[in-house]
Amino acid sequence: MTSAAARPDSPSLEEVILALCAEAGPGQSINPTDAAQGYAAARGEDALAWRGHLPGVRAAAVRLAEAGRLVIFRKGKPADPRDFRGVYRLGAPRVE
């Protein structure tokens, strides 16, 4: 059963994505599905509600990548956040 409203203490989509990327560690990436599922779980939604969050994950990933807080990977290489298609992964930016 999907809750009508998010839990008041639930994290934002951006917070979920950044936390999962940090948890994955340097040089690792996450699947956008993981972010959508984590976000739905944090909001107390049912097991399939994550599917509705996938477009939001993509939009949040683009915003975070444009701000330099995230890297969008396509085929293992950084992708232009304004121009990528298909399967992608998300990771923390490399710290030099």
User: Quick check: 4 pLDDT over 80?
Assistant: no
> Residue 8 domain-assigned?
no
What number of CA atoms fall less than 13 Å from residue 21's CA on the CB side?
23
Per the structure, the complete domain to which residue 17 belongs is given by: 13-91
> Residue 62 domain-assigned?
yes
In total, how many domains does the chain have? 1
> Residue 42 domain-assigned?
yes
> Residue 2 domain-assigned?
no
> Residue 17 domain-assigned?
yes
Q: What is the mean pLDDT of the chain?
A: 92
CA distance 20 to 11: 12
Look at residue 94 in the predicted model and tell me its pLDDT.
81
pLDDT tens string 57-83: 999 999 999 999 999 999 999 999 999
> Residue 74 domain-assigned?
yes
Q: What is the domain-level CATH number for residue 84?
A: 1.10.10.10
pLDDT band at 6; cut points 50, 70, 90: low
CA distance 27 to 35: 17
pLDDT tens string 31-64: 999 999 999 999 999 999 999 999 999 999 999 9
